[in-house]
């Protein structure tokens, strides 16, 4: 009889143990599924972010692809502008002067059509993001740190500064500096 009791006890314990083991396996499987779903969602989001960054990089590259060529042309524009400035007083009615003026205007319009804009500097407050200070001049008639003269024009290519403006900035007048 002891053998039968032992068999009966094993039979009654066996279904309970099997059920507990199955529940444990089921919980483990559910945790694994949840973990894998989480990983899948994270990888999908990571891939979407990668795609978005790649598209932005590609658009940025296309937008600013002409930057080096434009930087090479800016000194030519500067030279032509300086020629006009120096000749304006003497040769205003000269046909050659008028021809150079037309060329500069066409050149400027071409650059504008490519997204190039000059940085407005004179009369504005000095901003390190747009200007390089070449010199400071004490001035009482202008607020300190105001751009009073532009030595070399700075330029934007769309929203990016491709060349800082080289400027002369007003500093406090000597009398104010002593006080």
Tens digits of residue pLDDT in 61-88: 888 889 999 999 999 999 988 888 887 7
What's the rounded Cα separation, in Å, for the pair 11 and 150?
Answer: 98
* Residue 43, pLDDT above cutoff 70: yes
pLDDT band at 177 (very low <50, low <70, confident <90, very high): very low
Lowest mean pLDDT among 30-39, 79-88, 107-116, 160-169: 79-88
End-to-end CA distance of the chain: 115
What are the two backbone dihedrals, phi and then psi, of residue 128, each rounded to the nearest 5 degrees?
Answer: -60, -20
At residue 53, the pLDDT reads 95
In a 13 Å sphere around the CA of 31, the CA atoms on its Cβ side amount to: 6
For the chain, domain boundaries: 117-179
Taking the model in full, what pTM does it have? 0.67
* Residue 9, pLDDT above cutoff 60: no
Which CATH number, 2.30.22.10, 3.40.50.150, 2.60.40.420, 1.10.10.10, labels domain 117-179? 2.30.22.10
- CA nearest neighbour of 136 among 95, 102, 179, 167: 167
How many helices (H) and strands (E) the chain has is answered by 4, 6
SS3 percent helix, strand, coil of the chain, rounded to 5, is 60, 20, 20
The segment with the largest mean pLDDT, out of 21-30, 82-91, 170-179, is 21-30
- CA nearest neighbour of 64 among 159, 163, 165, 164: 159
Strands of 131-138's sheet in order across: 131-138, 165-171, 147-152
């Amino acid at each position: 009889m002891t053998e039968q009791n032992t068999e009966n006890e094993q039979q009654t314990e066996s279904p309970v143990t099997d059920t507990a083991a199955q529940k444990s396996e089921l919980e483990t499987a559910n945790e694994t599924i949840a973990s894998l779903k989480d990983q899948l969602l994270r990888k999908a989001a990571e891939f979407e972010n990668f795609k978005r960054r790649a598209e932005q990089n590609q658009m940025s590259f296309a937008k600013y692809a002409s930057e080096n060529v434009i930087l090479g042309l800016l000194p030519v524009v500067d030279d032509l502008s300086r020629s006009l400035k120096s000749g304006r007083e003497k040769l205003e009615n000269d046909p050659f002067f008028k021809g150079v003026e037309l060329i500069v205007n066409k050149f400027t319009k071409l650059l504008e059509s490519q997204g190039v804009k000059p940085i407005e500097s004179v009369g504005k407050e000095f901003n390190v993001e747009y200007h390089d200070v070449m010199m400071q001049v004490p001035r009482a008639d202008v607020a300190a740190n105001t751009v009073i003269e532009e030595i070399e024009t700075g330029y934007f290519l769309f929203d990016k500064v491709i060349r800082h403006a080289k400027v002369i900035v007003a500093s406090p007048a000597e009398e104010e500096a002593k006080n």
